[in-house]
Amino acid sequence: MSDDKKDPQEQLKEFIRIGVSATNSGLQLAQTTFKNFEEPLSSTFQSAGENGAVAMETAKTVYAKRKQYAPQLMAGTAMFTGGYFWLRRGRIAGILGAAAGTGVAYSVVYDEFPVDFEKLPNVIFGKNDK
């Protein structure tokens, strides 16, 4: 019953303390939840970025040396695409798939459609070089 006898100023202070305490608890919970969500996500993005950089450097190296291995690249592409289509669709599709795959491999090896690996990430992710 003594709570009813408190003056209004003390009641207001108590109400403010309770409000601040509840707000701090809510913010702490929100921050903990955000950190638990953010840490695995950021580490995943970091490792994906590192692995992507290694893969891009390897692709640049392989692309730069592609003319040294032109017959192997074209034969491997013909065997892969021809074999795939042969197994999936039959003999005629396998022959046509091998021819198409070899044509694409030839155009890549001998720069019919040159690829600029320096601008490739910008093309993939839609960034402009302005």
Report pLDDT digits (tens) over 73-120.
899 999 999 999 999 999 999 999 999 999 988 988 887 776 676 676
What per-residue confidence (pLDDT) applies to 6?
75
**With 80 as the cut, is the pLDDT of residue 55 above it?**
yes
> In a 3-state reduction of DSSP, which class is residue 113?
coil
**With 60 as the cut, is the pLDDT of residue 125 above it?**
yes
What per-residue confidence (pLDDT) applies to 110?
85
Task: Give the angle subtended at the CA of 59 by the CAs of 113 and 82, to the nearest 5°.
Answer: 65
48, 64, 80 — which closes off a domain? 64
What per-residue confidence (pLDDT) applies to 54?
87
| Cβ 74 vs Cβ 67: under 8 Å | no
The residue ranking higher by pLDDT, 46 or 88, is 88
Q: Which two tokens stand for residue 39?
A: 């840490």
The answer to whether residue 2 sits within a structural domain is no
Q: State the burial class of residue 71 (Cβ atoms within 10 Å of its Cβ: 0-12, 13-18, 19+).
A: exposed
What single letter denotes the amino acid at residue 100? A
Q: How many structural domains comprise the chain?
A: 2
DSSP 2: G
Structural domain span for residue 32: 7-64
| Cβ 71 vs Cβ 113: under 8 Å | no
DSSP 32: H
Residue % of the chain over a pLDDT of 90: 35
The answer to whether residue 59 sits within a structural domain is yes
- The pLDDT-based confidence of 1 (bands split at 50, 70, 90) is very low
Q: Phi/psi of residue 67, each to 5°?
A: -70, -20
Torsion of CA 28, 29, 32, 35, to 10 degrees: -100
The answer to whether residue 1 sits within a structural domain is no
